[in-house]
C-alpha cells in the first residue's frame, strides 16, 4: 500500500507524511514544476506543468488498495475506478455513493462561473479540519491493516 498526495494546493501534506511514517507506509508527493516539495519521509515526483498532468501521473501509478489524498473530484473518480481509497483534505472519503453528486456539483458551478456568476472564496482552514482529516486517514489505515 502507498499513499499518494496530489500536493498542488494541498494543506495536509505534512500531516499525511507524519501518519504514513507512523504506519510505515510509503508516501509519494506529486506536484508540477510550478511547485517544490522536499519532505523527509516521502518521495517527491515532479511532473511537467500542464492541465491535469499531476492527476494522470497519479492515476497511472495507483493500484488497488492504495490511498490518494486529493481535493480534485475528477482525480478521485479515476482513482475510485482503479480501486484506490480517496480522501479529501477535510477528511471526506470519496466513494461510489458521493462522487457522482460531487462531479455534478462541480459541473454546475463551472457553468455558473462561465456565465459570469461568482462564488465566495474558501474560508480560512481550521484546526478542526486538520483533525478531521487526521482522524479519517488514521481510521482508513487501521481498517485496511485490520482487513
Domains of the chain and any CATH numbers: 2-146 (3.40.50)
Residue 15: predicted pLDDT: 97
Q: What is the mean pLDDT of the segment spanning 54-79?
A: 95
User: Could you tell me the three cell numbers for 76?
Assistant: 478521485
Residue 107: predicted pLDDT: 60
Least confident span in 77-81, 87-91, 110-114: 110-114
Residue 113: predicted pLDDT: 67
Q: Map grid coordinates 514544476 to a residue.
A: 33
The vertex-54 CA angle with 35 and 16, nearest 5°, equals: 70
What pLDDT, in 10s, does the model give residues 102-138? 777 766 666 666 777 776 767 788 999 999 999 999 9
Q: Map grid coordinates 509519494 to a residue.
A: 28
The larger pLDDT score, comparing residue 13 to residue 8, is at 13
Q: What is the mean pLDDT of the segment spanning 52-58?
A: 92
Which contacts of 87-96 are long-range, i.e. CB under 8 A and separated by 24 or more positions? 87/133, 87/136, 87/137, 87/140, 88/133, 89/10, 89/11, 89/12, 89/129, 89/133, 90/129, 90/132, 90/133, 91/129, 91/132, 91/133, 91/134, 91/135, 91/136, 91/137, 92/136, 93/136, 93/140
- What's the predicted TM-score (pTM) here? 0.87
Residue 27: predicted pLDDT: 98
Amino acid at each position: 500500500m502507498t499513499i499518494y498526495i496530489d500536493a498542488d494546493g494541498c494543506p495536509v501534506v505534512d500531516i499525511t507524511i507524519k501518519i504514513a511514517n507512523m504506519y510505515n507506509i510509503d508516501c509519494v508527493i506529486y506536484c508540477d514544476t510550478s511547485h517544490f516539495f522536499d519532505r523527509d519521509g516521502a518521495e517527491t515526483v515532479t511532473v511537467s506543468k500542464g492541465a491535469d498532468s499531476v492527476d494522470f501521473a497519479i492515476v497511472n501509478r495507483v493500484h488497488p488498495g492504495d490511498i490518494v489524498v486529493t481535493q480534485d473530484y475528477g482525480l478521485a473518480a479515476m482513482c475510485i475506478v482503479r480501486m484506490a481509497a480517496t480522501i479529501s483534505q477535510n477528511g471526506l472519503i470519496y466513494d461510489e455513493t458521493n462522487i457522482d453528486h460531487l462531479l455534478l456539483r462541480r459541473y454546475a458551478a463551472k457553468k455558473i462561473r462561465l456565465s459570469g456568476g461568482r462564488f465566495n472564496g474558501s474560508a480560512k482552514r481550521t484546526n478542526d479540519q486538520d483533525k478531521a482529516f487526521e482522524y479519517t486517514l488514521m481510521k482508513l489505515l487501521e481498517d485496511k491493516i485490520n482487513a
